[in-house]
Amino acid sequence: MATTSAEPLAIDVQQLSKTYREGLIVRRIHPALKNVSLEVKAGEVFGLLGPNGAGKTTLIKVLLGILHPTNGIAQVLRQPAGSKAARRKIGYLPENLVFPRHHTGRSALYFYGRLSEMTDAQIAAREQELFDLVSLQGRQNEAVRRYSKGMRQRLGLAQAMLHDPDLLILDEPTDGLDPMGRSQIRDVLDKLKQRGKTVFLNSHILQEVELICDRVAIMALGQLRGIGTIDELIRSHTDDQSSSVKLEVLASPDRINQVPGLPQGVLVEEIDFGGLGHEGLSRIALESIDQSGVDLLVDILRQANISILRIERARPSLEQVFMNIVGAAKS
């Protein structure tokens, strides 16, 4: 599954396993990660997908050094995962971020900046830009306990970017945001990408991942089930035989049905223009047809002198890929 390239890697995980052991007397063992290997190239926006309990958060915790792996190797920015050197270059936005109640937006930014070994002067130089970027300008002196979830999330993103890290690990960054907020986050991520930063994104929102990410990994039951660009995933995880084709033609359904040589399973229906009717305009749909079948159908219709107005070949979505992978893993 892992890519093999000479490009510098931001994240390099090889055969990583993590097993939780619980209970003092009766020990229960719960494997959270099983031999996970993945590589994230520097400068790419990488999406990590998976259902709840797939092991995504465990993987992020291992990358940050919050959890000690049971087996395997994890490197971040060519440093051992969890090492101080690696953590210096990481900006992290956790899921459900909670700020200490005594902070204002500004003091929280300063606190996390100082934790990232920044001087107050360096923080001061960055603060206005960041508050503008996450649309918290004018609200930075309010107590964070009065912030909405979306505001806290944006403040969290600001603190993650504050020390200009090489790698951003974002756990559900758009969670709780309205469509406008999500759009702003996407803009921010685009800018980060343009600046060559690596973004490791963990999200449930597949459309968002599809829009932002260069590459995606899908996890299920602690294992990596798929990795690659979205096209690669679709190609490798959808069956071409199951693709369908739709044609809009200038002919009535009766005329089409009389054309000799039409393949079996062709559905023909009249296209209705809001009850006004337009005699002679129909839609032909055919499931499970390959390219040669499409070519043959076009030839037959043209020999019958039927004009083809539009041909649409239905493409599988990431969601479909995701459902296929997860469904297959569960079964």
Partner 1 sequence: MKPYIAVLYDSLIESVRSRVLWILMAGWLLILVALFPLSLSEEETYRVSSSDLNNARAMLDQLAQASAGRGTRAQRAVYEKLDEEFQETLKDRLRTQKRIPVGQLVSSLNEALNQEDLYSKEAWPTAERREELKALIDDPSKTTDELQKLNRRLVDLAFPGSIRSATGQATWVTYAGMKFMDPLPFTLRQIRPFIEAGLYPFIMWLGLGQIAMMVAIVVTAPMIPDMFQTGSLHLLLSKPLSRSLLFLSKYLGGCIFVAMNVGFFLVGLYFYSGMQLGIWNRGILWCIPVFIFSFMIFYSVSALVGLIWKNPIICVVLTALFWGICFTVGVVRGFANEFLKGPPTIQAMVVAQDTPITANQQGRLLFWDQPANSWKVGFGEVNGQRLLGPIINSKDGLLYMGRTQFVPFGLGGNDSPRLQIVRLPELSSNPTQAIQDENPPSKKKDRKLWDDSRLDTAPELPPGTSDILPWKDSFLSLTPDGIFWFDRDAVSKAEQQKVSVLGFDLKLPQATEVHKKITQPDWDFRRPIAANTIPGTDSIALVSKGKLVRFDFDGKKLNAQSSIELDLPPETVATVVVVGEHAIVCPDSKTPTVVNLQEMIITGNLDAIGNKTIKRTANATDGRVAILDTEGKLWVIANPEKQSESLNPIAPNLVGQGNISTMAFDQEGRLWVAHHVKQVDVWDKDLQRSEKSFRPVRTTAEWLFDYLINPFYLVNPKPSALQNTIQYLLRNPENKISAVDRADLDIPQVVSDPWQPIWSNGIFIAVMLSASCWLLYRQDL
Stretch that binds partner 1, among 97-105, 126-134, 243-251, 313-321 (CB under 8 A): 97-105
Tell me: does residue 65 bind partner 1 (CB under 8 A).
yes
Question: Hey, what long-range contacts does 299-306 have (CB within 8 A, 24 or more apart)?
Answer: 300/259, 300/260, 300/261, 300/262, 301/247, 301/249, 301/256, 301/259, 304/259, 304/260, 306/249, 306/250, 306/251, 306/255, 306/256, 306/259
Tell me: does residue 193 bind partner 1 (CB under 8 A).
no
Assess contact for 212 and 45: CB atoms under 8 A.
yes
The token pair at 317 is 């979505």
Q: Which of 1, 7, 8, 102 binds partner 1 (CB under 8 A)?
A: 102
Q: Which is nearer to partner 1, 168 or 301 (CB)?
A: 168
Q: Which of 10, 13, 40, 97 binds partner 1 (CB under 8 A)?
A: 97
Tell me: does residue 90 bind partner 1 (CB under 8 A).
yes
CB atoms within 10 A of CB 91: 24
What residues pair up with 97 in beta bridges, in sequence order?
Answer: none
Rounded Cα–Cα distance for residues 40 and 48 (Å): 11
- Nearest by Cα to 327 from 198, 238, 214: 238
Tell me: does residue 107 bind partner 1 (CB under 8 A).
yes
Rounded Cα–Cα distance for residues 165 and 154 (Å): 17
Tell me: does residue 100 bind partner 1 (CB under 8 A).
yes
Distance of closest approach, residue 195 Cβ to partner 1, in angstroms: 21
Q: Which of 66, 234, 294, 298 binds partner 1 (CB under 8 A)?
A: 66
- Nearest by Cα to 38 from 53, 20, 60, 19: 60
Distance of closest approach, residue 322 Cβ to partner 1, in angstroms: 26
Distance of closest approach, residue 238 Cβ to partner 1, in angstroms: 36
Tell me: does residue 95 bind partner 1 (CB under 8 A).
yes
Stretch that binds partner 1, among 59-67, 200-208, 250-258, 267-275 (CB under 8 A): 59-67
Rounded Cα–Cα distance for residues 201 and 158 (Å): 16
Tell me: does residue 56 bind partner 1 (CB under 8 A).
no
Tell me: does residue 126 bind partner 1 (CB under 8 A).
no
Assess contact for 215 and 229: CB atoms under 8 A.
yes
CA atoms within 13 A on the CB side of 319: 5
Tell me: does residue 31 bind partner 1 (CB under 8 A).
no
The token pair at 180 is 């406008």
Lay out the site mask for partner 1 across 10-29 (x = CB under 8 A, - = otherwise): ----------x---------
Stretch that binds partner 1, among 98-106, 223-231, 252-260, 301-309 (CB under 8 A): 98-106
Q: Is 327 exposed, middle or buried (0-12, 13-18, 19+ CB in 10 A)?
A: exposed
Tell me: does residue 164 bind partner 1 (CB under 8 A).
no
Stretch that binds partner 1, among 117-125, 194-202, 249-257, 318-326 (CB under 8 A): 117-125
DSSP result, 184-208: HHHHHHHHHHHTT-EEEEE-S-HHH
Q: Which of 10, 36, 112, 245 binds partner 1 (CB under 8 A)?
A: 112
Stretch that binds partner 1, among 4-12, 95-103, 237-245, 317-325 (CB under 8 A): 95-103
Q: Which residue shows structure tokens 């097993």?
A: 19
Q: Which is nearer to partner 1, 175 or 190 (CB)?
A: 175
Q: Which residues bind partner 1 (CB under 8 A)?
A: 20, 61, 64-68, 84-85, 87-88, 90, 92, 94-100, 102, 107, 111-112, 114-120, 156, 159, 169
